[in-house]
Amino acid sequence: MKIAYYSFGGRYSDNPRALHQRLLARGDVDAEHVWLAGPQHAGSFPAGTTTVPLGTPEALAALEAADLVVADNHLPAWDKRSGTTYLQTWHGTPLKRIHRDARSTQPEGEAVMSRLDDDITRWDVLLAPSEAAAVPLRAAFRFSGPVPVTGYPRNDALLAPDVARRRARVRAALGVPEDRTAVLYAPTWRDDDRFGDGPDFRLRLDLERFAQRLGGSHVLLLRLHYLVPDALRGLHVPGVVDVSHHPDVNDLYLAADVLVTDYSSAMFDFAVTGKPIVSFTYDFEHYRDVLRGFYFDLHGIAPGPVLTTSEELLDAVADPEELRVACKERYELFQETFCHAEDGRAADRVLDLVLNHPEVRP
């Protein structure tokens, strides 16, 4: 069996990585594995991993020869042969509207949107992390095939037996003392900031104020979106660690004591850990009415406070335990709605589905 994998511009990451690692660990499938690797990420693959350069004839040949294609994002055009299964895992529960449901016209234009639609015609299975997520995912992509609710393979690591040991290792590597509260700030990107990766990029969280007020007890782990990871390159603020290029976001979820995000799907994954979540939504109306729009009422579903100023945010994260107690009921409802399928065995469910059940295969 030949399996080809693709993740986020040619990285070794996300759901495809989790499925690849679980297949290797199980050892019950005789398969040839090949990854489409972006030039800047080729060195990050584990030793012994077979890769082909993304955007080359070799990459197309790998896709066209595969019995199973696993991707978490859109692939370039390729000739899918009869008998190949294309498993689209996608990469998060959509709070913000995506694809053609988004409010704004994407800078890339109609030609790119048409290319993405063409890719969707090849999908055989689209994963959903929850029943609630399955509805907007199917609608956004106008996908009529199977959308099984399996949980996300990438989130299995958040419930693994070694989470305490991994947390300690990651915090030590990042220089976060055990007696410090680690706040992970992971904002999504804005469509109107996407090409402002440079002097015009402005982070609305006041980092200097964070350091001044909480620097003695807290560390801020700053995780910018993968489309603008270098926007604050060279940042030097005491107590602030730029982890935008850290290869595995699960490491950061485990290292953190509280998550601050906005409209990112990070909140749905992080909620698997049970740790507090704060939504920092300084541009809520603009994002809702101009940029994207939402599938869910954030103020109604949020597992924690929805805030608009840095001072409110600093008040909220000052004491994570107090925050956890105050938001207990909201948090539990959020988990019931969006994390009900997350039990640490999603990868096995997905592999059993695509390998053993012919009804989901073409």
Within this chain, do residues 263 and 308 fall inside the same structural domain, yes or no? yes
Report the DSSP pairing between strands 51-53 and 32-37: parallel
Within this chain, do residues 134 and 165 fall inside the same structural domain, yes or no? no
Within this chain, do residues 301 and 195 fall inside the same structural domain, yes or no? yes
What is the sign, positive or negative, of the torsion defined by CA atoms of 51, 154, 346, 171? positive
Within this chain, do residues 170 and 314 fall inside the same structural domain, yes or no? yes
Within this chain, do residues 118 and 166 fall inside the same structural domain, yes or no? no
| pTM of the entire predicted model | 0.94
Within this chain, do residues 186 and 127 fall inside the same structural domain, yes or no? no
Write the CATH number for 130. 3.40.50.11820
Task: Supply the pLDDT for residue 106.
Answer: 55
Task: Supply the pLDDT for residue 362.
Answer: 57
| One pLDDT digit (tens) per residue for the chain, 362 residues | 999 999 999 999 999 999 999 999 999 999 999 999 999 999 999 999 999 999 999 999 999 999 999 999 999 999 999 999 999 999 999 999 999 898 765 555 777 888 999 999 999 999 999 999 999 999 999 999 999 999 999 999 999 999 999 999 999 999 999 999 999 999 998 877 754 444 445 788 999 999 999 999 999 999 998 777 777 777 888 999 999 989 899 999 999 999 999 999 999 999 999 999 999 999 999 999 998 999 999 999 999 999 999 999 999 999 999 999 999 999 999 999 999 999 999 999 999 999 986 656 55
**Which residue segment(s) compose the domain that 192 sits in?**
161-338
Task: Supply the pLDDT for residue 196.
Answer: 47
Task: Supply the pLDDT for residue 112.
Answer: 80
Domain count, the chain: 2
Buried b (16+ CB within 10 A) or exposed e, 111-124: eeeeebeebbebbb
The answer to whether 146 touches 360, Cβ cutoff 8 Å, is yes
Distance CA 7, CA 250 (A): 15
Within this chain, do residues 198 and 333 fall inside the same structural domain, yes or no? yes
Within this chain, do residues 151 and 233 fall inside the same structural domain, yes or no? no
| Pick from 45, 36, 32: nearest CA to 71 | 36
Task: Supply the pLDDT for residue 197.
Answer: 47
Within this chain, do residues 73 and 200 fall inside the same structural domain, yes or no? no
Number of Cβ atoms within 10 Å of the Cβ of 142: 12
Give CA torsion, residues 317, 227, 100, 123, to 10 deg: -110
